[in-house]
Amino acid sequence: MSGQGKVVCEWSFWVHSFMAGEALAPTWLYCQSNNNLTKTGHLLALDGAKERLHLFKADLVEEGSFDSVIEGCDGVFHTASPVAVEVSDPQAELIDPALRGTINILRSCAKVPSVKRVVVTSSMATVVFNGKSLTPDVLVDESWFSNPLLLEQSKLWYMLSKTLAEEAAWKFAKENGIDMVTLNPGWVIGPLSHPTPSLRAQTFPNTPYTWVDVRDVANAHIQAYELLEASGRFCLVETVSDSSETLKILHKFYPALHISEKPADDTPYVPAFQVSQEKAKGLGIHFTPLEVSLKDTIESLKENNLISF
């Protein structure tokens, strides 16, 4: 698929900044939309932004809000979804916005014949929660789908919102003949695009984490759009590591960094499973090692004066 033409991305996720940096090549016109355009200085400072980056205001949950933005586009990246750990009303705060936002984007795409492909940022949250045992001999791949009922019973609301949104997206895409690809990254880490995170010290659950570098996720989005043969879902995980192993890496490089080594509870550690990289490698992705991602994350936090030690 040619990179020539115009693509649109709506965002609330820092991956979009790295995507913009890669997509602002001379052959692309890159449009981004959000309902808040006050925090865009980091985007406007990118090379090529003056000539090829257009910003639009749009409301993800308002049907038709993206019609005019998508008109004439060749590709669409849907990267936005609300993220929250603690919510008072999961239906209103997470599930409805995720579902409505995804379907609204796809409805707008269905009206525009020029759209060749839609790339949706999903999550490993839509993959691993199906009740199967996650032991070291288990290899998780794109054929796995999380069970919404299990997520609801466990009150894993963010995971449920992403699972229902991806499920609805595939149904709509198939019914309306939309060429759609979903990317399913694990926990995304790496350097910041702009210094806006909210940081606080906290304990951590004694469970495995699926890690992936933000730059690899951004690259995967671009490749998923440009490679004609790309199809279906793509798990994006460099490694699965428990909290203690991750802390060992951090303490190895930053012994003065004070991080809690106490788990949030006394739940016994569950050995890590594995995630297949076979499909992701078909996108040409060479995953950044976790050690590099962690070091770059800490260095970025230091450079932006968000931590000091």
The predicted model gives 271-280 an average pLDDT of 92
124-142 residue pLDDT tens: 999 999 999 999 999 999 9
204 φ/ψ angles, rounded to the nearest 5 degrees? -125, 145
26-83 residue pLDDT tens: 444 445 445 555 556 666 666 666 666 777 777 888 899 889 888 888 889 998 777 7
What pLDDT score was predicted for residue 246? 87
What pLDDT score was predicted for residue 192? 79
Confidence of residue 24 (pLDDT cuts 50, 70, 90): very low
Please answer whether residues 101 and 81 qualify as being in contact, where contact means their C-beta atoms are separated by less than 8 angstroms: yes
What pLDDT score was predicted for residue 30? 45
The phi-psi region of residue 49 (left if phi > 0; otherwise alpha if psi is between -120 and 50; otherwise beta) is: alpha
What CATH homologous superfamily does 5-198+211-241+273-290 map to?
A: NAD(P)-binding Rossmann-like Domain (3.40.50.720)
- Which of 66-70, 178-182, 226-230 is least confident? 66-70
Please answer whether residues 56 and 72 qualify as being in contact, where contact means their C-beta atoms are separated by less than 8 angstroms: no
Please answer whether residues 67 and 33 qualify as being in contact, where contact means their C-beta atoms are separated by less than 8 angstroms: no
145-173 residue pLDDT tens: 999 999 999 999 999 999 999 999 999 99
79 φ/ψ angles, rounded to the nearest 5 degrees? -110, -5
Q: Could you state, in order of their start, the residue ranges of all structural domains in the chain?
A: 5-198+211-241+273-290
The predicted model gives 302-307 an average pLDDT of 82
Of the segments 7-16, 183-192, 240-249, 297-306, which one has the largest average pLDDT value?
183-192
What pLDDT score was predicted for residue 81? 79
Please answer whether residues 214 and 14 qualify as being in contact, where contact means their C-beta atoms are separated by less than 8 angstroms: yes
> At residue 230, does pLDDT exceed 90?
yes
79-104 residue pLDDT tens: 877 777 788 999 999 999 999 999 99
